[in-house]
Amino acid sequence: MFRKTLVLTLLIALLAACAPTPQTTPVVDSAPTEVASTEAVATESAAYLVTSDGLGREVTLTAPAQRVVSLAPSITEILFAVGAGDQVVGRDEFSDYPAEAASIDSVGGSMGEYSVEAIVALEPDLVLAAEINTPELVKQLEDLGLTVFYVNNPTTIEEMYGSLENVAALTGHDVTELIESLKARVAVIDEKIAPISARPSVFYEIDASDPAKPYTYGPGTFGNLLIERAGGFNIGSEATDAYPQLSLEQIVVANPSIILLGDAMWGVTTESVLARPGWETIEAVKSNQIFPIDDNLISRPGPRLVDGLEALAKILHPGLFE
């Protein structure tokens, strides 16, 4: 029951969230969509960086942030990826990657409840929030005198690069090399997938607490985005909800040729799916094309989305990566 409640809470919240060389000059960020614009201040005034965040709020820093609190796992991953891991003094309790994050003080986050007192006590010069955090929490922290930057979820992998640029700018790092590396990896996948003539149908399971009506990724989600870019057809894409429950009858009719178990982290196995009553007629079950996958690579809008894309492409089109 706890697992189901936790997963559903995260799904609902999502609907609403090698260090590079530090820069010595202000950063100009031209990230699309997510944070609209970042304007460097070229004078010797008190402002180091003036930028608009995902809520349309103007955020000003007088210097690169050195004490940062992250309120989302994706933000924590981005901070470490851009080289700002040593600047993180607080993180939400679900931030579990990289392993070093576990040693950072937790400020809560279970069921969307954060300890404002713990956040304030850490004396951060920047708090980074994501779409799993409410605008009300952002305002509460801002009213307490904290500087808060709200990072919108990207809608494409390319927009994710903008998230990296924004966080790097706020913390005084250069992510040119990191982004070029990610772009190169994505280009390899795109090049291999481009000539394919057939896309396997995919059912991606997020939560099967009710095996007769499991949750999946629908339109507008990272799961749907990555499955399509990896050369698959997501049967959940035809739903109207972003995170729909599909009945057994709907899954049987769609007859996916591949089943992906994003809920493998909760103990769901290939064997347990093979044993489900009524699933035996599904092509993926008959051919045993059922694969566990790390859902954190799919659901967290950070640099590991590229890892997720690679993992999906290799499952869906193994012959292209031999």
pLDDT at 139 over 70: yes
Residues 136 and 237 grouped into a single domain: no
**In a domain? residue 180:** no
- Write down the pLDDT at residue 111: 85
pTM above 0.75, yes or no: yes
Rounded mean pLDDT, 45-71: 91
Q: Which of 174, 202, 233 is the last residue of a domain?
A: 174
Average pLDDT along the chain: 88
Closest CA to 149 of 173, 175, 169: 169
**In a domain? residue 194:** yes
Give the CATH number, domain containing residue 33.
3.40.50.1980
Q: Which residue has the higher pLDDT, 11 or 243?
A: 243
List the domain range (segments joined by +) for residue 228. Answer: 185-321
**In a domain? residue 128:** yes
- In whole angstroms, how large is the CA radius of gyration of the chain? 21
Residues 246 and 131 grouped into a single domain: no
- Write down the pLDDT at residue 121: 98
**In a domain? residue 269:** yes
Instruction: State the pLDDT confidence band at 46, using cuts at 50, 70 and 90.
Output: low
CA distance 218 to 96: 26
DSSP string, 233-260: EEGGGGSSSSS-B--HHHHHHH--SEEE
Residues 194 and 294 grouped into a single domain: yes
| Least confident piece of the model among 17-31, 68-82, 129-143 | 17-31
Rounded mean pLDDT, 156-179: 97
CA distance 138 to 23: 28
Instruction: State the pLDDT confidence band at 18, using cuts at 50, 70 and 90.
Output: very low
pLDDT at 37 over 60: no
pLDDT at 35 over 90: no
Residues 30 and 147 grouped into a single domain: yes
For 178-210, the pLDDT digits (tens) are 999 999 999 999 999 999 999 999 999 999 999
**C-alpha atoms less than 13 angstroms from C-alpha of 177 in its C-beta half-sphere:** 10
- Write down the pLDDT at residue 4: 43
**In a domain? residue 179:** no
Q: Which of 174, 202, 222 is the last residue of a domain?
A: 174
